[in-house]
Amino acid sequence: MNRSIDDPSLYINRETSWLAFNGRVLEEANDSNNPVLERVKFLAISASNLDEFFEVRVAGLLQRIEEGYKDSGPDALTAQQERDLIGQETHDFLREQYECWNKRLLPALAKENIRVLDYKELDSEQLAFVDNYCLKEVDPLLTPVTVDPSHPFPRVLNKALCIALLLKRKRRATGTYMGVITVPRVLPRLVRLPSKSGMDYIFLADLLISHAARMYRGYEIVSAASFRVTRNSNLYLEEEEARNLLESVRTELHRRRKGDAVRLEIDAGVHTEIARRLQQTFELEDWQVFYTQGPVNLSRLFNIYDLTERPDLKYKSFVSRELRLPASSNNIFTELRKRDILLHHPYDSFDAVVDFIETAASDPDVISVKQTIYRTSRDSPIVSALITAAGEEKEVTAILELTARFDEASNIQWARMMEDEGVQVYHGLVGLKTHCKLCLLVRHDTDGVTRRYAHIGTGNYNPTTSRFYTDVSLLTASPQITSAVHQVFNYLTAYSEAPNYAPLAISPIDLASTTLAQIQREAQHAKAGRPARIIAKMNALLDKNVIQALYKASQAGVKIELLIRGMCSLRPGVPGISDNIVVRSIVYRFLEHSRIFYFENAGDEQIYISSADWMPRNLYERVEVLCPILDPNLKQRIKDEILAAYLADNAKTRFLDRNGNYHHVPRQRGQKSFVAQDFLIALAEGNATAADIPDPVSLRARGASMARKKQTVES
């Protein structure tokens, strides 16, 4: 009997898939082959990721339950069932995090003379240091509170470090009181100690607990514990009703810091009375209380990485390859009239993109600059260039997305600054986030022709994150592409829909339908016996329509390789459904962020880059762009250098099986380790060529075989 592709069992739950991704991040923290300070950073990343998961995903889930929503996803799980599922999984994950910290990382750091000490482990010199530090730097900033009818429980801000104390009055020892100290964010959560050998640290929370008696004179401290509350950080905007989106976002940001509590983290040794009172105060169920076997905020371990000057315990640094123009080109515009330029970040420096925009700002022949901004750095050279261009009396337009999650406050500041300097600032379309990455210049060239030049990227205009996010940039003067980019900007500023945006596809207009048509075309080629293959690299695959199209293509015989860093709801290797689909995930030094799509198309290969993942929000709720690579040389580079390297990775690749589990594939005897990111660094440094990439086909077959064996055993 044929199995319907609507069967809910064919879809992996998005939340558990995300937790599996964060588990792969934690695996890197546990991997002793990674430098120890990098392992500490991976643990901190896993904690930061989990914070956002609770702030956004769990918070939204709880709100849906509260409002009585009965809808379910492709996997048919209700919100209540999802809550029960992730409740157990997040507690298990927390236990694994602290096991990594206590049993693996602390001993590994100690071997390198890097110690994180308890207060009782401090020597006399260190005790004198912390006493002086608390007296001069800490105590003046703290406001201890004893909770009683005239001193209500203080408003605890989202993710703020706090100390809870159970107190008894020394003179009147009847009953107990609750004491609370909220710790200002200006204080470092990790304090470097003087040390005669190596590097010693102590967590600020340990110092505060040890010095609490100084702030609570007249009380006996029965017990003390550090805690942290995570709150709902979603913005609930009624854009249709808002007279001014900027002011609406600003107002919502103030509410975010005080949103409903969704999680309480507290020291595992906490007195039961403290835990009970905190749980009641924040109105949390038992599953929302997490007892930590160590510091309540593991994301603060970033400080150990940053403060410890031990390059030997970090990844070897490398310098990104700079774009060098030939002597025959006076500037970037002369070169772009001859050819398109492809940049693969961080291996190719993002400076080329910054230079493209800065050159436009100062070039007297450039008359117009249009730019989308989703996220950017705190001291953004891109924004500075736009302001410079406006000062040069060029027409400058910025489409700045105010609702980019957790960058709203920064983007509000940039919007006001640019408007004050003469930049025309718009905030996209009501109800649609502007997520596409576009820059468009208009220039009166020296040959008398007015031309457009464009940058199209898969990542944000952020020079900081570009150093550790992998992304792809296209610089082009193609009349077809630049004309289409111009139409996209008209859509963003005037809601003016063009008849079509070819050769681009944009959401929410035609990106979804174009994607489905591309997949269906491969299926038709396969049925007709023509070459058919899909390679798709992205952050997440969740859209049911796309997954069903891939299932049908697999049934038609299309070989499908999916490189998905994070969430994936598709189940590969299901007999009769997805036998021809292999799903890989690579988690390593750089965050895999580029979106690249390859279609064999009966030999007429097509390759695209995009700002969009195959998720409903990207395909239907945002403005995104899918752009073809037209230059044959650039297509060859993407296929034979970038995609081939990822498909050949046999060290950092995990294969997804049909049960939703990810596995490394053991290397065969004599097979050398191949790490795609390390190879791409060597390539950028001139120490490797595409010829050094192993044949990925054998690995694919072996990976699929191993996954099937694993599934058989588990079944």
Residue 114: pLDDT over 60: yes
66 vs 249, more confident = 66
Residue 251: pLDDT over 80: no
The 10s digit of each residue's pLDDT in 344-393 is 999 999 999 999 999 999 999 999 999 999 999 889 999 999 999 999 99
> What is the 8-class DSSP label of residue 317?
P
H helices within 181-295, ranges in order?
Answer: 204-210, 212-215, 245-256, 272-281
H helices within 302-443, ranges in order?
Answer: 302-307, 332-336, 351-362, 381-391, 408-420
213 vs 484, more confident = 484
SS3 for 586? strand
Judge whether 212 and 221 are in contact, CB under 8 Å: yes
Residue 632: pLDDT over 70: yes
For residues 220 and 171, give the distance between their C-alpha atoms in angstroms, rounded to a whole number. Answer: 10
Q: Give the pLDDT of residue 71.
A: 79
Q: Give the pLDDT of residue 698.
A: 45
Q: Give the pLDDT of residue 72.
A: 83
> What is the 8-class DSSP label of residue 201?
E
Between helix 59-66 and helix 79-99 the angle, nearest 10°, is 150
Residue 709: pLDDT over 60: no
Q: Give the pLDDT of residue 404.
A: 79
Q: In the block, which residue shows the tokens 């300097």? A: 421
Question: Closest Cα to residue 563, out of 698, 437, 700?
Answer: 700
Q: What is the dihedral of CA 56, 62, 65, 70, to 10 degrees?
A: 30
Q: How confident is the model at residue 239 (pLDDT cuts 50, 70, 90)?
A: very low
Residue 73 is encoded by which pair of tokens? 């996803």
Between helix 14-30 and helix 36-52 the angle, nearest 10°, is 160
Sort 462 into a burial class: Cβ within 10 Å, 0-12 / 13-18 / 19+: buried
Q: Give the pLDDT of residue 173.
A: 64
H helices within 531-659, ranges in order?
Answer: 544-556, 616-620, 632-637, 644-648
Q: Give the pLDDT of residue 174.
A: 72
Sign of the alpha-carbon torsion through 585, 590, 595, 598 = negative
Between helix 79-99 and helix 14-30 the angle, nearest 10°, is 0
Sort 326 into a burial class: Cβ within 10 Å, 0-12 / 13-18 / 19+: exposed
For residues 205 and 369, give the distance between their C-alpha atoms in angstroms, rounded to a whole number. Answer: 49
Residue 668: pLDDT over 90: no
Query: Do 332-497 and 506-714 show the same overall fold?
Result: yes
Judge whether 106 and 116 are in contact, CB under 8 Å: yes
Q: Which of 90-99, 148-157, 409-418, 536-545 has the lowest mean pLDDT?
A: 148-157
Which pTM does this prediction carry? Answer: 0.93
Q: Give the pLDDT of residue 244.
A: 62
Q: What's the N-to-C CA distance of the chain in angstroms? A: 20
Q: Give the pLDDT of residue 246.
A: 63
Looking at residues 553-582, what average pLDDT do you find? Answer: 97
Q: How far is the CA of 711 from the CAs of 211, 518, 697, in angstroms? A: 55, 31, 21
SS3 for 368? strand
Rg (CA), the chain: 27
The 10s digit of each residue's pLDDT in 434-467 is 999 999 999 999 999 999 999 999 999 999 999 9
Distance of CA 353 to the CA centre of its chain: 21
In this structure, which CATH number among 3.40.470.10, 3.40.50.300, 3.30.870.10, 3.30.420.480 belongs to the domain 506-714?
Answer: 3.30.870.10
**Which residues share a beta bridge with 564?**
538
Q: Extract long-range pairs of 447-451: CB within 8 Å, 24+ residues apart.
A: 451/333, 451/337, 451/477, 451/479, 451/482
For residues 598 and 606, give the distance between their C-alpha atoms in angstroms, rounded to a whole number. Answer: 6
Residue 476: pLDDT over 60: yes
Catalytically annotated residue among 345, 435, 455, 525: 435
Q: Beta strand 653-656 with 581-586: parallel, antiparallel or unpaired?
A: antiparallel
Residue 581 backbone phi and psi in degrees, to 5: -110, 130
For the chain, the maximum distance between any two Cα atoms, rounded to a whole number of angstroms, is 91
Q: Which of 25-29, 248-252, 515-519 has the lowest mean pLDDT?
A: 248-252
Q: Give the pLDDT of residue 367.
A: 97
Q: Give the pLDDT of residue 171.
A: 78
Q: Give the pLDDT of residue 609.
A: 98
Residue 318 is encoded by which pair of tokens? 């490398």
Distance of CA 432 to the CA centre of its chain: 20
For residues 37 and 301, give the distance between their C-alpha atoms in angstroms, rounded to a whole number. Answer: 10
The 10s digit of each residue's pLDDT in 382-417 is 999 999 999 999 999 999 998 878 888 888 899 999
Q: What is the mean pLDDT of the chain?
A: 92
Domain 8-313 has CATH 3.40.50.1820: no
The 10s digit of each residue's pLDDT in 515-547 is 999 999 999 999 999 999 999 999 999 999 999
Q: How far is the CA of 565 from the CAs of 50, 560, 583, in angstroms? A: 16, 16, 10
**Which residues share a beta bridge with 559?**
533
Residues of the chain with pLDDT > 90, as a percent, come to 81
Q: Give the pLDDT of residue 233.
A: 86
For residues 407 and 401, give the distance between their C-alpha atoms in angstroms, rounded to a whole number. Answer: 9
The 10s digit of each residue's pLDDT in 286-302 is 999 999 999 999 999 99
Question: Known catalytic residue: 345?
Answer: no
Q: How far is the CA of 278 from the CAs of 83, 94, 152, 209, 612, in angstroms? A: 22, 20, 13, 17, 42
Question: Closest Cα to residue 515, out of 525, 528, 506?
Answer: 506
Distance of CA 680 to the CA centre of its chain: 21
Q: How confident is the model at residue 702 (pLDDT cuts 50, 70, 90)?
A: very low
For residues 188 and 502, give the distance between their C-alpha atoms in angstroms, rounded to a whole number. Answer: 52
Those residues whose C-beta lies under 8 Å from the C-beta of residue 413, and which sit 6 or more positions away, are none
Q: How far is the CA of 343 from the CAs of 198, 349, 391, 588, in angstroms? A: 41, 8, 29, 20
Q: Give the pLDDT of residue 696.
A: 62
498 vs 626, more confident = 626
Looking at residues 119-140, what average pLDDT do you find? Answer: 94
The 10s digit of each residue's pLDDT in 576-617 is 999 999 999 999 999 999 999 999 999 999 999 999 999 999
Those residues whose C-beta lies under 8 Å from the C-beta of residue 360, and which sit 6 or more positions away, are 366, 369, 385, 389, 441, 443, 453
Residue 558 is encoded by which pair of tokens? 């299309």
Domain residue spans of the chain: 8-313, 332-497, 506-714
Domain 332-497 has CATH 3.30.870.10: yes
Question: Closest Cα to residue 271, out of 139, 143, 163?
Answer: 163
CB atoms within 10 A of CB 265: 22
Judge whether 597 and 536 are in contact, CB under 8 Å: yes
**Which residues share a beta bridge with 662?**
656
Residue 704: pLDDT over 60: no
Q: How far is the CA of 173 from the CAs of 89, 221, 378, 408, in angstroms? A: 43, 12, 52, 49
Those residues whose C-beta lies under 8 Å from the C-beta of residue 697, and which sit 6 or more positions away, are none
For residues 335 and 331, give the distance between their C-alpha atoms in angstroms, rounded to a whole number. Answer: 7
CA angle 587, 590, 596 (to 5 degrees): 80
Q: Which of 166-170, 554-558, 647-651 has the lowest mean pLDDT?
A: 166-170
Q: What is the dihedral of CA 332, 334, 338, 339, to 10 degrees?
A: 10
Can you state the percent helix, strand and coil of the chain, rounding each to 5? Answer: 40, 20, 35
